[in-house]
Structure 1
Amino acid sequence: MWALENVRLIPGDGGDEPTLEGILLDINDRKRIEGDIAFRAYHDELTSLPNRALLLDRVGVAMANVQRKKQRLAVMFLDLDALKVVNDTLGHGVGDSLLKMVAGRLSEALRRGDTVARVGGDEFVILLPEISREADAQRAAQKILRTIAKPYVLESDELHITASVGVAIGPRDGATPESLIRNADGAMYRAKQSGGNRFELYSHVGPGIIGRTAQEAELRQAIDRDEFLLYFQPQVTIDSREVVGVEALVRWNHPERGMIEPAGFIPVAEQTGLITVLGEIVLRKACQQGVEWQRSGCLVPRIAVNVSPRQLYQRDFVGMVTRILNMTGFDPHLLELELTESMAMQKSDRSRAILKNLRGMGIAIAVDDFGTGQSSLSYVKQFAVDTVKIDRSFVIDVVRKKSDQSIVSAVLLVANQLKLRTIAEGVETDAQCEFLQERGCREIQGYLISRPLPADRLRRTFLRSATARAAV
C-alpha cells in the first residue's frame, strides 16, 4: 500500500504543548499509473516484451560483461515470414493474437537471463548474453525456427507461419549495440532472400550486405528511375510446342550491380509495402508490351502476371486492373493473373469476391506453385480458377522419385476432372515432358523450351505474325 502523509507542527497557546496535525492520502492509484507509464516506456504494449530502448540497454550491459570476461554474446534478429498475409486475409485482430502466441513461445524457448524483445510489427530481437561458441547460437536459432513453425490454433483456424533469423556474434560482428543489431538484421534479410524459414550468420554473409532501410531506399529510387523491366518465358502446348502463353517476369536493371532477379528485391518490396507499386508497374508494362506486339503484327498469346497476397488485398485492386486495361487498351481475355497456392490457406470471402469480379471481366486466374500448399483440393473447389501450375519442385525429379510422381499424377487427375488448364513449370528434359504428357498435362514451361527472354528477342524467336496465322 502506498500513502502520502503531510504533517505540520502547531504551536500551543498559553503554554500548552504543541500538537501535530497531518493528512494521510491514499496514492495507490497514482503509483499504479506511474508504474504503468514506466513499464510502457520500456516494454511493448501488445506483447509486454521489452522494447527497443530496453533491448539496447541490455545489449550494452551484456557487451560490457563479455568484453571484461573475454566471452561472447549473440544477437538474433527474427522476422515472421507471412504475418502480412494473415493480417490481410483474417484481420489485424487475428494477427495481434498470433503475435502474442509467438512472443509466448519465444519466451518459453529461451534460457533464464536471455532477452526477447519486440522491435517492430513482426520483428523480434533475441539476446543471448553469454555463449561459449558460435555453435551455441546456431543451435538456439534452429530451436527457435522449430518453435515458430509449429501450428497455431486460433478459434477455428489452424495457421502455419515461419520465420527468418539473422545471427550476429558480439563483439566480433559489432562494436556497439546498434551495429550488432543492425548486422543481425542484415543477415536476417539474406535468410529471407534465400526463401525464409532459415537462419544466416552475419560472419557467413559478410559486411557487404545492406539492411532493409538501405534496400528500401534503393528500391524507391529504382521505381522513380524506372529501372524495372520485363522478361518473358514462353508456355507451349506439350504435343505441338505451339506458344499459347508467356509469363511476365520482372528484373531490376541496377546501374551498379547489373540485372537482379526477383529473389534479390521482391522480399524487400513485400516487407515495405512497395510491392503494390511494383506490382502495378509490372502489370502496366506487361499490358503495354502486349499492345506493342499486336501493333508490330504479332499474334499475342495469353500474358501471365504474378500477383502477391498484399497486392490482391490492396484497396480497390480490381479498379487498378481496370484502369490499366483501359489505359493500355489491352484485351482482358489475353491477361492471366497468377496467385500462389499459399494464399488459399487463408479462407476469405473477400478473395472469392475479388476473383469473381476479375473473371467477370474476362481475366483468367491461375494457381501458381500448385501442390506445395496444404489445401490444394479445397482451394480449387472453393475458388473459381482457370489454370493450375504444377510447381517445378515436383517436376525436377518426377522421372525417378515415386513421391513426386504420385503428387503430379494426382494433381493432373483432379485438374483434368475439373476441366482446368494445366501447366508444368521447370520442365528441362524430354523424359520429364514424356511423363507429364502421359498423365494428361497439356502445357509446359521451362528451360527445355526457353529461358526467360527480353521482349524483342521473344517476339523474334517465338511469336507468329497474325497474317501468317490467318493464312493457315
Structure 2
Amino acid sequence: MRPHLSALRICLIYLVLAISWVLLSEHFLQLRFGDSDEYLKWMSEKKYLFLAVTAAILYVLLLRQFKRQAAAYAAMEQSEQRLNRALEAVEDGIWDWDLRTNKVFYSPGFARLFGLPRESLSDEYELWESRLHPEDREATLAAHQAHLAGDTPQLDCVYRLLHTDGSYRWIHSRGRVIRDESGEPLRMTGVCSDITDQRSKDDYLRQAAAVFETTQEGLLVTDLQGTIVHVNPSFTRITGYSADEVLGHDPSMLKSGRQDATFYKAMWHALLSEGAWNGEIWNRRKSGEVYPQWQHIRAVYNEQGQLTHYVALFSDLSNVKRSQKELEFLVHRDPLTGLPNRLLLRERIEQAMAHAEIERGSGALLVLDLDHFKHINDSLGHAAGDLLIKAVAERLRECLDENSSLARLGADEFAVVLRSQHEYHASRTAQRLLEAMHDPFYVDGNPIYMSVSLGVSLYPDDAQDVDHLLQHADAALFQAKASGRNAYAFYTPELTARAHSHVQVEAALRQALERDELRVFFQPVHEIASGRVVGAEALVRWQHPHLGMVPPGMFIPVAEESGLITSIDAWVLQQACRQIRSWLDQGIALDFVAVNLSSRLFNRGGLMQRVESVLKETGLPAHYLELEVTESAVMQNVDQALQQLSQLRMLGVRLAIDDFGTGYSSLMRLKKMPVHKLKIDQGFIAGLPDDSEDAAIACAVIALAHSMGLKVVAEGVEHADQAAFLREYACDMGQGYWYGRPRPASEMNWQSKAEVTDLGEYKN
C-alpha cells in the first residue's frame, strides 16, 4: 500500500462529501425555509454543525490511527528486543555489510570472535579485514568477490582471524548477497562461527583414525554386550580373520583354551573395578595356530560416565618368544661366527685361572686384531667383510687344539685362551696363528690377503684376575701394532704405564677444551724471493695449568686417536678466523692464514657449512683463509675428497696439500684436485742442501707444482743455506725456525726476513 495514494483518496472522499453537504444542505434549507430569517439562521448553524461533525470524524480517525501506530511501535520494539536477545544469546558472529557505504554491522557475538568488548566494535569494514591471517587473506577476499560477482550461489569459506590475545582462531563464514531489481549487489549478510575447537577435535579424530588403521598392534572394539563392532587391519594380519568374519561375533571365538575360567574371572574383575586390564594371553589364529599376545583392554565411558565400549589393543609375541630363545644363545655366542662372545670368554678365563690356581699351572690370553680390516669394509662392503670374518674364524679354529678356546670379542677382534701352557707354548701358538694368515682368503671369488697383530698376557704372572689380564693383553696388542703389525708382543709393565699415560692425557685434554687451556700460536710464512711475510699458519698449543706448555707431539696423537681432534680443529678454525679479521682491521697486510684440517674433520660431513658459518660469523673474506689437508687424508677417499675440496674452492677459501710426498697419491688424482698449493714435508727439507736425495725430491716437487700452476711452500726451514737453496730453485714460500717460531698473535713480528746470500753451488 502506497501512503500518498491513500491520503489522496481520503482527501477526495472528504472533498466530495463536503461539497455534497454544502449543496444538499443549502438546497434543503431553501426548500424548507425559503428566504426567511429562519433560513439565514440555519445557514449559520449548518456551518458549525459541519465543523462539529467533521471534527468528530477526524477525532475518530486520528484516534484509530494513533492506536494502530502505537501498536505497531510496540510490536516493533518487542520484535527488536527479541532480536537483540537472540543476538546476545547466539555464540556466532552475525554481520551485515552495506556495500554502498562499505559499513558493516557486527553482532555482539562478533565481539567475542575478536576478543573485544562490545562497546569497542565499530562499523568499519577494515576491523575484520585487518585481522585476517596473511596466508588466508587472498583466498578469503577472493571468495567474497566471487560471490559478489555471482560466481558462487553463496559465500562459504574457512579462514583464520586474529584474536585480541594474539592467537588466531579458525572461522567458518557463510553468507548471501542481496541485490536490487537490476541485479546490483546492495548488501551481504552472513554468520561466522568459531570452529577452532571443532577443528582441533577433527584433527585429533583424524589422527586417532590414522593410528587405528596404521598401528602394527591389533585393535578390537566391542559394545557393552561384548559384540565385536570394529577391528583394524593389523587385527586381520595377526589373527587371519577378516573384518566381515568377526563383526557381530563374540571375542571368545579367538580363545585358545589355554587359560581357565579363573584367568578370565580375574580379567573381568580388573576391568569392572579398575577399568583396564593388561597381561599375556594365548589366542588362536584362523589357521588354528595358538600364539601368545600381550593384550591391553580398557573400558570406555561416555560423557555421562556410562560404560559404552571395550577396546582391546594387542601385539603378537610370537617373534618376541622366538627372539628370547635366540637371545639366550646370543648372550653367550657371537651371531656371525657362532664363537663364544666376550661374556662367555670371561667365564672361560675365570675357569682357566681357577684351574691353574688349583693345579699350580699357568696359561695365556691372546688377543688378535685383523690388520687394516676397515679397508675391506670400505672397498668391498660390509657383506664381504662379514664373509671374511667367518673365514678367518674358521681358519683360526683349525689352528687350535682342545686346550684352547677361541672367542670373538667384536668387529675384527678375536681372543684365544690357552690352558696349562708355558710361555713358549703361547709364543708357538701366536706364531702358528700368524702363519695361518699367509694364504689368501677367497670372498666372492676374490683373493684377499690378511694379517693379524697379537697381544699376549700370561696368567698368573701378568695378572690374577680377568679384567687385568684383558687390559694387559690389549696393551701388548697395541705394542704389536706400533711395531709394524703382522706380529705378536708380550705384555710388559712399561706397556701398562704407557697406556695409563695415554688415558690420563686424554682425560686432561677433554678438560682442556672445557677449561679454555688451548691456545692458538701463529708461525709466519715468508715469500722466499723477497723475504716478505705473506701469511701465517695457525698451530694449536696446550697451556696446562701445572705442566706448563705441553708439546704437540704428546697430545695431538692422543687427540687424533680419541676423536677430540675434530673439536680442536673446529675451535682453532674459529679462533684463527677471528684473529685474521682483527689483524685486517688493524691494517696489517697479509695474504692468508693457514689452518690445518685433520682427516677426521675433513672426511666427515658438513665441513663446508661449518667453514661458511665461521666466515660469516667473523666477517672474514674467504680468500684470506687457507685450509691445509694432509695428502693421506685426501687419498683415504678420493671421490669424497674431490667433492669436499670442490665445495670449499667454490666457497672462495685457499686450499693446500700438506706433507706432500709422504702419502700415496698419484699424478692422475692430484691433477683433479682443486688446490692452490703443495707443502713440501719438512722431512725432505732437513737434508738440504747437502743430501742429494732430499734435494732431488724438493726440486721435483717444485717443478711439478709449478707445471700444474700451483704454489709451493717448504716446511721446516731452519737454516739460511736451506732458504738459499729453495730460493735458487724458485720455491715460492717457506716457514720454519729460520723465519720465525710459532708465537701468540700478540707477539707476531710482521717484519720481512732479509734476503739470504747466495751460498754457491748445491748438489742436485
Q: Could you state the TM-score of these two structures normalised by the residue count of structure 2?
A: 0.47
Q: Which moved more, 1:162-171 or 1:421-430?
A: 162-171
Alignment of structure 1 residues 281-292 onto 2, 5 Å: 281-292=571-582
2:381 is the counterpart of 1:94: yes
Please report how far the alpha carbon of residue 463 of structure 1 lies from its aligned counterpart in structure 2 after TM superposition.
Answer: 1.9
The answer (yes or no) to whether the contact 1:341–1:369 under 8 Å persists in 2 is: yes
Aligned partners of 1:210, 1:165: CA distance in 2, in Å? 20
CA distance in structure 2 between the partners assigned to 1:445 and 1:135 by the alignment:
54
Equivalent in 694, 705, 709 of residue 419 of structure 1:
709
Return closer, same or farther for 1:243/1:61 CA change in 2, 3 Å cut-off.
farther
For 2:674, the equivalent position in structure 1 comes to 384
Residue 112, structure 1, aligned to residue 400, structure 2? yes
Q: Is 1:451 equivalent to 2:738 in the alignment?
A: no
Q: Deviations over 1:84-126 (max 9, x none)?
A: x887xx58x7366457647855875795256665545565556
Among 202, 216, 234, the alignment partner of 2:524 is: 234
Q: 463, 466, 469: which one pairs with 2:750? A: 463
- Pair 1:359–1:444, CA change in 2 (3 A): same
Q: Give me the whole-angstrom Cα distance separating, in 1, the residues matched to 2:333 and 2:407.
A: 8
Identity %: 35
CA contact (8 A) 1:77 1:167 kept: no
Whether the 8 Å contact between 2:684 and 2:698 is mirrored in structure 1 is yes
> Any idea what the Cα deviations from partners look like across 1:366-390, whole Å, max 9, x if unmatched?
1111111222423311221111112
Instruction: Decide whether aligned partners of structure 1 residues 212 and 438 sit closer, same or farther in structure 2, where only a CA change above 3 A counts.
Output: same
Residue 180 of structure 1 corresponds to: 469
- C-alpha deviations, 1:204-240, integer Å up to 9, x for none? 2443642877665544333222222222222222333
CA distance 1:203–1:329, shift in 2 (3 Å): same
Cα distance change on mapping 1:136 and 1:190 into 2, 3 Å: closer
Q: How many residues align?
A: 428
Aligned CA-pair RMSD: 4.7
Give, in whole Å, the separation in 1 of the partners of 2:488 and 2:516: 33
Helix, strand or coil: the match of 1:220?
Answer: helix
Distance 2:617 2:435 in 1: 46
The whole-number CA distance in structure 2 between the counterparts of 1:161 and 1:253 is 43
Q: Secondary structure at the match of 2:671?
A: helix
Instruction: Give the whole-Å Cα distance in 2 for the aligned partners of 1:390 and 1:228.
Output: 27
**C-alpha displacement at 1:436, in angstroms?**
3.6
Verify the 8 A CA contact 2:361 2:420 in the aligned structure 1. Answer: no
Return 439-448 or 32-41, whichever deviates more: 32-41
Deviations 1:31-59 (A, max 9, x none): x9898645533344456554322332343
Counterpart AA for 1:112: L
Instruction: Tell me whether 129-138 or 386-395 shows the greater mean CA deviation.
Output: 129-138
Which residue identity does 1:181 align to in structure 2?
L
Q: Which runs of 5+ in 2 are unaligned?
A: 1-321, 753-764
Equivalent of residue 642 in structure 2, options 333, 352, 366:
352
Q: Which segment drifts farther, 268-277 or 284-293? A: 268-277
Q: Give yes or no for the alignment of 1:310 onto 2:600.
A: yes
Mapping of residues 131-170 of structure 1, within 5 Å: 132-133=422-423, 140=430, 168-170=457-459
Rounded to whole Å, the distance in 2 between the matches of 1:445 and 1:198 is 39
Change beyond 3 A, Cα 1:393–1:443: same
Q: Tell me, in whole angstroms, the C-alpha distance in 1 between the residues paired with 2:572 and 2:370.
A: 27
2:540 is the alignment partner of 1:253 = no
Structure 1 unaligned runs (5+)? 1-31, 466-472
Query: Separation in 1 of the partners of 2:592 and 2:363?
Result: 57
Structure 2: how far apart are the matches of 1:76 and 1:416? Answer: 50
Q: TM-score, normalising length from structure 1?
A: 0.72
Q: What CA distance in whole angstroms lies between the structure 2 residues aligned with 1:291 and 1:73?
A: 60
Q: Distance in 1 between matches of 2:711 and 2:465?
A: 56
One-letter code of the match for 1:41? V
In 2: Cα distance, 1:449 partner to 1:197 partner? 43
* Aligned partners of 2:532 and 2:751 also within 8 Å: no
Which has the larger displacement, 251-260 or 367-376?
A: 251-260
Q: 1:191 to 1:257 in 2, by over 3 A?
A: farther
Report the AA paired with residue 683 of structure 2.
S
Which residue number in structure 2 is paired with residue 73 of structure 1? Answer: 364
SS at match of 1:210: helix
Give the deviation of 1:429 after TM superposition: 3.4
Conserved? CA contact 1:192–1:267, under 8 Å:
no
Question: How has the CA–CA distance of structure 1 residues 330 and 400 changed in structure 2, closer, same or farther, with 3 Å as cutoff?
Answer: same
Corresponding letter in the other structure for 1:239: A
CA–CA distance in structure 1, aligned partners of residues 734 and 449 of structure 2: 31
Question: Within 2, Cα distance between the matches of 1:161 and 1:405?
Answer: 37
Deviations 1:147-203 (A, max 9, x none): 79x999999x99999998766444344331212222444566688899999987542
Question: Within 2, Cα distance between the matches of 1:158 and 1:428?
Answer: 48
Contact 2:434 2:451 (C-alpha < 8 Å) held by counterparts: no
Do the aligned partners of residues 132 and 428 (structure 1) sit closer, same or farther apart at CA in structure 2, a change above 3 Å counting?
Answer: farther
Instruction: Confirm or deny: 8 A CA contact 2:659 2:681 kept in the other structure.
Output: yes
Whole-angstrom CA distance in 2 between matches of 1:193 and 1:258: 28
The Cα offsets for residues 427-461 of structure 1, whole Å up to 9 and x where unpaired, read as 3334444444444422222233333323322x1xx
Is this contact kept in 2: 1:62–1:73, CA < 8 A? no
Distance 1:442 1:289, change over 3 A: same
